[in-house]
Structure 1
Amino acid sequence: GPAHVVSNLPYNVGTPLLIKWLTGPWTPHALTLMFQKEVAERIVAAPGDDAYGRLAVISQAVCEAKLVMHLPAAAFTPPPKVASAVVHLVPKADRPDRDLLKALERVTAAAFGQRRKMLRSSLKPLGGADLCVSAGISPEDRAEVIDLAGFLRLARAASGQTQPEGPGDGGATMMRRKRG
């Protein structure tokens, strides 16, 4: 039957394992995983959040991700130096195919690799401003304001795939940064 992965992963391998599960050929029915609090927040972050980055885009392209529980260090014996949080992930039925996921990994690595740079600069190795224009994204935008639909359009453009038709396909989502 379908597998539901439940784990308190060693924090040093949690992110690489999650990416492997999300982008690999095997799709679990669901994942309920404990991470360091900051990593969990990066998985569920939205555009404009300080924690928004590559991990959020890739996780949310493949799954519905929800932070379900915070655990203080005092909940463990001996208490670790960091707080923890549990994230529940359920794979989407319409998840991107493997080729699009590989392109999404390349695009997000470049886009978030140079935070605070405009996409025309950070995406230069993949086509820069031309890539952005072909995806309907402003080359002056920064990665942290582009929503999932916008990153999927960039990935399709980078891999030569056809863009889907239709309104509301996303793009830059300007949101006020959360403080505190």
Structure 2
Amino acid sequence: MSSPREPLASVIKRHGLDARKALGQHFLLDPGVTERIAQLAGSLKGRHVVEVGPGPGGLTRALLDSDAASVLAVEVDTRAVAVISELAEEAPDRLRLIEADATAVDLAELCPAPRHIVANLPYNVATPLLIGWLRQAAQWERLTLMFQLEVAERICAAPDSEHYGRLAVISQWCADCAQVMRLPPGAFSPPPKVWSAVVSVTPRPEQPSSELFSAMERVTAAAFGQRRKMLRGSLKSVGGEHLLSAAEIEGTRRAETLSVEEFDRLARALLAKR
């Protein structure tokens, strides 16, 4: 029988791992919470899991206690690297550590399939990380990710609602997205100023080409960049009336009223025009 693990608070103190605002760090220390997040990822049996920003390793421990075939921890903070290195010594066959900036590496290349991502993401890079992973959504079976609540709401928002915008369109275009857990500030150390939420992102079987993805980025940037304007005005920079006619969408409508499927038609029309 293995000996009990050192409490995370003690690990943090021993390594001088105070959370740094510049790195967007807010640590989860409650093992009940981290275990629940690992469970929300679904069955991990035979799956290879990537965790970004493990910090003191609370979620890492929960993933190691799951049925996951392996865990790849990606950490940029040298202090946290030392902590996760100790965990890797306990499970050398299942836990691998890479010291790197997750925004600058292709994680799918580093991890065998079938792949999951399960992470309490650093808040300051969470959105660009998600967009990068959606670009290669076909490589991932599921992503279970912690965001600030406002970002989670933007990912899952319905058309014509307060939070509906580019992030909702691109996320829901590539995947089924759902909020599956909310956490108050007090669940973290140190507490952030806002609530947080876990979002389950399950990529669709059919994924857009990289060219079509880029077209969608251009269309949504134009449409939501001037959301008070009617589409015939906001889309002028990408083809305006021609695009709207090809997609059979009224130019008097505004971006927030369009469904994801209608944005798909606009993106395809833009790609065909090129």
Q: Name the TM-score, length of structure 1 as normaliser.
A: 0.86
Decide which of 84, 104, 111 is 2:196's aligned counterpart: 84
Q: Tell me whether 1:27 sits opposite 2:144 in the alignment.
A: no
SS of the equivalent of 1:157 reads helix
Deviates more, 1:120-129 or 1:20-29: 20-29
1: CA distance, partners of 2:265 / 2:218? 13
Closer, same or farther in 2 for the Cα pair 1:151/1:98, shift >3 Å? same
1:136 counterpart letter in structure 2: E
Q: How does 1:1-180 map to 2 (within 5 A)?
A: 1-24=113-136, 27-160=139-272
1: CA distance, partners of 2:137 / 2:171? 15
* Structure index of larger Rg: 2
Number of equivalences: 161
**Structure 2, unaligned runs of 5 or more:** 1-112
1: CA distance, partners of 2:121 / 2:166? 20
Q: Percent identity?
A: 57
1: CA distance, partners of 2:251 / 2:209? 26
2: CA distance, partners of 1:24 / 1:103? 15
Structure 1 runs of 4+ off > 2 angstroms? Answer: none
1: CA distance, partners of 2:137 / 2:170? 15
1:66 counterpart letter in structure 2: A
Deviations 1:17-68 (A, max 9, x none): 0000101376211100000000000000010111000000100111110110
Higher helix proportion (structure 1 or 2): 2
8 Å CA contact retained: 2:159, 2:258: yes
1:23 counterpart letter in structure 2: R
1: CA distance, partners of 2:254 / 2:130? 25
2: CA distance, partners of 1:38 / 1:26? 26
Aligned-pair RMSD on alpha carbons?
Answer: 1.3
- Structure 1 match to 2:64: none
TM-superposed deviation, 1:136: 0.5
1: CA distance, partners of 2:118 / 2:219? 30
Deviates more, 1:72-81 or 1:5-14: 72-81
1:16 counterpart letter in structure 2: P
The structure showing larger relative contact order (alpha-carbon pairs under 8 Å, at least 6 residues apart) is 1
TM-superposed deviation, 1:82: 1.2
Q: Name the TM-score, length of structure 2 as normaliser.
A: 0.57
2: CA distance, partners of 1:111 / 1:39? 19
**Structure 1, unaligned runs of 5 or more:** 162-180
